[in-house]
């Protein structure tokens, strides 16, 4: 499917809302439940509470348990190719890196140096099933959602670039639109982009049908029954 333009207003709104809200809003646009392009299981955020990362995916695969078998000059060249690929195209972009050693990853690709480099290249954050480290000294303003935390970089090396990757059950292709926060990550379908901003407001309005009465004095089961009937009528 062709990649659609993302309006500035939508980007700003997506950065303000959490990933569960985006999941709900996608189902509002689609008019049904069952959207399933999201990560599975619990992931680790470098600094919970940071705004969501939103952007087009820049994908790669790495490994680090065993040394690379390619000649050293090829390994070095591929790493520079990786950085060129990460820097490609207009932002916002998000690094989505699959560690092929999962679930036995040891290679802390995401630490002080790589966070500074990727942030400097203009990326908005990183999503990985692999390892992050240096949590006390990494730069602010670059969220990382990772599979684990560890101390070592192992034999980390880039395997390939710009290919479809898999991160905690979520398959991500180059240029997919990714939204991620401490809850996990989703790929936003291209065909919902035009209606997504309005759908986010619909989600909040529908939830207010329950949240308003529930947080108000005098809430009771009778109030809930009336509010829930209205909520069921509205929601997807």
pLDDT at 186: 98
Give domain status of residue 42, yes or no.
yes
Determine what percent of the chain falls in helix, strand and coil, rounding each to the nearest 5: 35, 20, 40
Asked if pLDDT for residue 10 goes beyond 90, the answer is yes
Asked if pLDDT for residue 101 goes beyond 80, the answer is yes
Domain count within the chain: 2
Could you list the residue range(s) of the whole structural domain that residue 166 is in? 36-188
pLDDT at 8: 84
For the residues 191-216, what does the mean pLDDT come to? Answer: 97
pLDDT band with cut points at 50, 70 and 90 for residue 15: very high
pLDDT at 1: 60
Whether the CB-CB separation of 52 and 14 falls below 8 Å is answered with yes
pLDDT band with cut points at 50, 70 and 90 for residue 57: very high
Side-chain half-sphere exposure of 49, counting CA atoms within 13 A? 2
Side-chain half-sphere exposure of 53, counting CA atoms within 13 A? 34
Q: Is 221 helix (H, G, I), strand (E, B) or coil?
A: helix
Mean model confidence pLDDT for the chain: 96
Q: Are residues 171 and 204 both part of a single domain?
A: no
Q: Are residues 117 and 212 both part of a single domain?
A: no
Which token pair is 118?
């990727």
Give domain status of residue 165, yes or no.
yes
Q: Are residues 100 and 200 both part of a single domain?
A: no
For residue 57, the domain's CATH number is: 3.50.30.40
Give domain status of residue 5, yes or no.
no
For the residues 90-118, what does the mean pLDDT come to? Answer: 97
CA torsion 111→116→121→122, rounded to 10°? 90
> What digits encode the pLDDT tens for the residues 21-54?
999 999 999 999 999 999 999 999 999 999 999 9
> What digits encode the pLDDT tens for the residues 139-187?
999 999 999 999 999 999 999 999 999 999 999 999 999 999 999 999 9
CA distances from 19 to 172, 182, 187, 215 (A): 16, 8, 10, 23
Burial class of residue 18 (count of CB atoms within 10 Å of its CB; 0-12, 13-18, 19+): middle
Asked if pLDDT for residue 5 goes beyond 90, the answer is no
pLDDT at 7: 84
For the residues 70-83, what does the mean pLDDT come to? Answer: 98
Q: What are phi and psi of 115, to 5 degrees?
A: -65, -45
Asked if pLDDT for residue 236 goes beyond 80, the answer is no
Beta strands 157-161; 53-63: pairing state: antiparallel
pLDDT at 196: 98
Give domain status of residue 75, yes or no.
yes
Asked if pLDDT for residue 81 goes beyond 70, the answer is yes
> What digits encode the pLDDT tens for the residues 174-189?
999 999 999 999 999 9
Give domain status of residue 92, yes or no.
yes
Asked if pLDDT for residue 130 goes beyond 70, the answer is yes
């Amino acid at each position: 499917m062709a990649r659609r333009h993302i309006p500035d207003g939508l980007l700003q709104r997506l950065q303000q809302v959490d990933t569960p809200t985006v999941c709900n809003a996608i189902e509002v646009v689609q008019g049904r439940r069952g959207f399933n392009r999201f990560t599975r299981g619990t992931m680790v955020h470098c600094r919970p509470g940071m705004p969501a990362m939103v952007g087009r995916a820049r994908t790669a695969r790495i490994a680090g348990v065993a040394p690379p078998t390619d000649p050293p000059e090829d390994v070095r060249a591929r790493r520079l190719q990786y950085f060129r690929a990460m820097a490609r195209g207009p932002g916002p972009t998000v690094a989505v890196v699959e560690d092929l050693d999962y679930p036995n990853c040891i290679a802390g690709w995401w630490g002080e140096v790589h966070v500074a480099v990727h942030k400097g290249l203009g990326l908005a954050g990183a999503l990985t099933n692999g390892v992050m480290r240096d949590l006390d000294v990494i730069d602010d303003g670059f969220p990382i959602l990772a599979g684990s935390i560890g101390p070592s970089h192992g034999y980390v090396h880039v395997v390939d670039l710009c290919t479809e990757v898999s991160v905690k059950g979520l398959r991500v292709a180059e240029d997919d639109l990714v939204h991620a926060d401490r809850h996990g990550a989703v790929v936003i379908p291209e065909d919902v982009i035009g209606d997504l901003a309005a759908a986010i407001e619909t989600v909040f309005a529908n939830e207010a049908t329950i949240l308003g009465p529930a947080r108000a004095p005098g809430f009771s089961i009778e109030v809930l029954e009336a509010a829930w009937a209205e909520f069921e009528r509205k929601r997807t």
